[in-house]
Structure 1
Amino acid sequence: MTAHTCPTEQTAAGRRQLRAVLICAVALSTAACTALGSSGPTTGRIVGSNTSSVQGANVQVIEVNDVIAMHLAHASAPVGFADTLGESAPVGTTINRGDEVGVAVWEAPPAVLFGMLGGSGVSTQTTIGTGRNTEISPQMVDDRGLISLPFVGTIRAAGLTPRQLEQEIRQRLLGIANQPQVMVGIVRNASANVTVVGEVSTSARVPLTARGERLLDILATVGGVRQQVDKITIQVTRDQTVATMPMDALIRDPRQNVRLRPDDIVTAIFQPFSFTSLGATGVNAEIPFEASGITLSQALGRINGLQDSRANPKGVFIFRWEDPSALQGAIPVGAPARADGKIPVIYRVNLSDPKTFFVAQNFPVKNRDVLYVSNAPGAELQKFVSILSQTAFSIIGITNGISGN
């Protein structure tokens, strides 16, 4: 005789299975809620950094407004070469130690003095009326500032212009040469040079002349720079003064194309700048930008703005190691400082206020900044609802399956 299961017993067993499934589903959904992912800290946690610790000290959170943005823009603006180095006079034709000078003497007829010279180092040529033009091989000015010439002897050249040296030599030849005329020229300039190094086609020492070469003239002389102009920073070192400017800013402002001085050092530096975009932004990546810098509004454009479904427009933050001089004295007590003296600062920007977009056009983004956008409070709720919806559909499917059996 075959045993038959009562329908009531089948229903009770199905309910027990359904109850077990529901309990598991609730447990899974609860576990999922506690494990909701996040791209970073919330707005509240970042704002609370004023009372939290980084390296044992508080981190300052600064609300950005037009005053703060204008102050930072002014503080980060590069000081031009015209203001730092000033405008110099053209290099004169003064003879200095190490220079080589050429001397030519013309003696009126009958030329008897220099006509007796011969051999290496002296070139003589008879001119009309038996006058004689004599060219003496270039003479290097020694470490004492002296040169030595036939019939003249040792004479000081350093510190004199070619015209002054001509007069000195002529005075010494009067009485021993017949109406001598003297011409002096600098053959090789060894003292008035500019050194050019870095990302240039050819590193070299470039001589300066009385023309008064300017910065771009010198860079052109060595073949220009090897990288894109907007990626190059030009540094000029003069004695103890070091001045830097983006090269494209130098090109745009003729006033910054200053005249150089002897012994200046010009360095072309290839310095790619970048900031990092994180959180609820259109792009999470390291974003390069030009040496001349960009503003916050430009930075937001390059990362495709904020994600509409996730971003909290009140939670736009810039994490930066800031120069204390840019904070107008508002430095947290015991603020940790790096070896270069900079301290950690968090700038907060509220993009829900339309006026802030004008502020963003002045706020400068600096190299190695971190631009972070926090999630909106509703984004977490949306995740939770999504998980519940998926769980509910799974339960319905399971229930239908059990009922069908």
Structure 2
Amino acid sequence: MNRLNAILICAVLTGCQAVPGEGPLSSEIVKDAGRSSQEIGRENTVAYDVVDVDARSARLVSNYVATALSRRFGIGGGVGQVVIGIGDLLKVTIFEAGSDGLFSTADSKQTNLDLVVQPNGAASIPYVGQVQFGGKTLEQARQTILDALVKKAVEPDVIVTSMGTASRNVTVSGAVGHSSLVPLNLVPETINEVIAKAGGPVAQPYESYVTLVRGKKTGTALLKTIIENPSENIFVRPGDQIYVTQDPRTFTVLGAAKINRRIEFGANDLNVLEAVALAGGGTDAVVDAKGYFVFRYEEADVVRSLLGTERFNAMLNKGMQPDSVGRYPIVYRLDMSHPDSLMVGQTFPIKSRDVVYVSRHPSVDLIKFLNIVARPVGVASQVSNVVDDFTN
């Protein structure tokens, strides 16, 4: 090796890290994995870990079923005891045995009264006065009216019928056929059934998100997940608010791929190989076959299973923190130099908002740096020979 080569290699070893590049090298991503801000030497860094995509990890990630709604609200069950509520429309029919009673005549022995339950939960009935209906079943309301009429009417009997259940409505709005107040039946009804009553979603299930608001609790799930996972198709309750949002799932590709941009899934499912293909694949001249990465905020259960409890707790101690919905930062690495990666990659799913990063090969930075330092001294023609000597 001549003196020029030695000088250039020395310069490379001391200054190659300063060469401009489209993101970090594979070695830099791996180096920072599992380290705290103090260990890295920078403040407020995001603590993450790297997991190799192999048969086990791909299977674990693909088999995970999100349970955002059932975990947040519980799946529910029967409707329980149905009671009268404010705004309900009731039909009260009063019968009398005699023809000259309070509610009977020679032509009819019954009287029908249409009532609306007022904000105080009561409604007025002639000769009875204010009757408290709110919180009572139809039978309890019937018995209350009957007891009040025993000494006033002639052998009375009463039937209370529900004609409208304003207190048992569910609001469905957003990207559905027609936003509406959906009245609940006396049988349990699920989210999918209620959305169907509102005309169904206007977009495909894989790009429709369902948000359920119940009291002070809020939960969001992909409609596709609700359809495929029965435990997520929970039962709704009176007063629930359901909002359906059309939000096409996308992922972002960066680095040494031929296309760097945000890309829509355009399909029900997408694996990592298909995601790379949608970006045109890696650029042969610069791509690092061992450096295909997926940056993701992953579900806590998945991260704990991948890392193991001990490693997971260690990462928490190093500063790994969840996002607003409890997911943790994780980086998946796919080594495309292994033949089985073409099989494993087919089973590893891409999720919405993932960042797929294709790392460049370290020699790219070497060539860039040698070109930079060689030109001023008039030895650019020898750069390729130096690279060969250095890399061989």
TM-score by shorter chain over 0.5: yes
Corresponding position: 1:227 with 2:203: yes
Supply the distance in 1 between the matched residues of 2:170 and 2:270 (Cα, whole angstroms): 32
Supply the distance in 2 between the matched residues of 1:372 and 1:165 (Cα, whole angstroms): 66
Shift of 1:89: 0.9
5 Å-filtered alignment, 1:16-165, equals: 39-50=22-33, 52=40, 55=43, 57=45, 60=48, 62-64=50-52, 65-73=54-62, 77-79=65-67, 81-82=69-70, 84-90=73-79, 92-115=81-104, 130-143=107-120, 145-165=121-141
Supply the distance in 1 between the matched residues of 2:298 and 2:188 (Cα, whole angstroms): 40
Is 1:319–1:345's contact at 8 Å kept on the other side of the alignment? yes
Supply the distance in 1 between the matched residues of 2:264 and 2:155 (Cα, whole angstroms): 72
Structure 1 runs not aligned, ≥5 long:
1-33, 117-125, 393-405
Structure 2 runs not aligned, ≥5 long:
1-15, 34-38, 382-392
Shift of 1:189: 1.8
Q: Please tell me the residue identity of whatever aligns with 1:105.
A: I
Supply the distance in 2 between the matched residues of 1:377 and 1:171 (Cα, whole angstroms): 90
Cα displacement string for residues 272-314 of structure 1 (whole angstroms, at most 9, x for unaligned residues)? 3322212332433211227976432332343343334442211
Change (3 A) 1:91 1:220: farther
Change (3 A) 1:290 1:268: farther
Is 1:139–1:148's contact at 8 Å kept on the other side of the alignment? no
Corresponding position of 2:219: 243
The match for 1:318 among 268, 291, 294 is 294
Change (3 A) 1:331 1:230: same
Change (3 A) 1:213 1:310: same
Corresponding position of 1:354: 339
Q: TM-score, normalised by structure 1?
A: 0.69
Once the two structures are aligned, what percentage of the paired residues are identical?
28
Shift of 1:58: 7.5
Change (3 A) 1:261 1:58: closer
Shift of 1:262: 1.5
Shift of 1:220: 2.2
Q: TM-score, normalised by structure 2?
A: 0.70
Is 1:98–1:140's contact at 8 Å kept on the other side of the alignment? yes
Supply the distance in 2 between the matched residues of 1:342 and 1:160 (Cα, whole angstroms): 44
Shift of 1:267: 2.0
SS in 1 for 2:170: strand
Supply the distance in 1 between the matched residues of 2:290 and 2:109 (Cα, whole angstroms): 90
Shift of 1:73: 4.6
Shift of 1:381: 8.7
Corresponding position of 1:331: 315
SS in 1 for 2:291: strand
Q: Please tell me the residue identity of whatever aligns with 2:247.
A: Q
Q: Aligned pairs, how many?
A: 342
Supply the distance in 2 between the matched residues of 1:256 and 1:61 (Cα, whole angstroms): 30
Change (3 A) 1:41 1:215: closer
Shift of 1:80: 6.0
Cα displacement string for residues 329-366 of structure 1 (whole angstroms, at most 9, x for unaligned residues)? 15276547687487765432211112334443444434
Is 1:55–1:336's contact at 8 Å kept on the other side of the alignment? no
Cα displacement string for residues 374-399 of structure 1 (whole angstroms, at most 9, x for unaligned residues)? 234566799999xx9xx99xxxxxxx
Corresponding position of 2:13: none
Change (3 A) 1:230 1:343: closer
Shift of 1:231: 0.9
Cα displacement string for residues 254-276 of structure 1 (whole angstroms, at most 9, x for unaligned residues)? 55433211122212133333222
Shift of 1:135: 1.5
- What is the root-mean-square deviation of aligned Cα atoms in Å? 3.9
Q: Please tell me the residue identity of whatever aligns with 1:372.
A: Y
Shift of 1:132: 2.6
Supply the distance in 2 between the matched residues of 1:80 and 1:57 (Cα, whole angstroms): 28
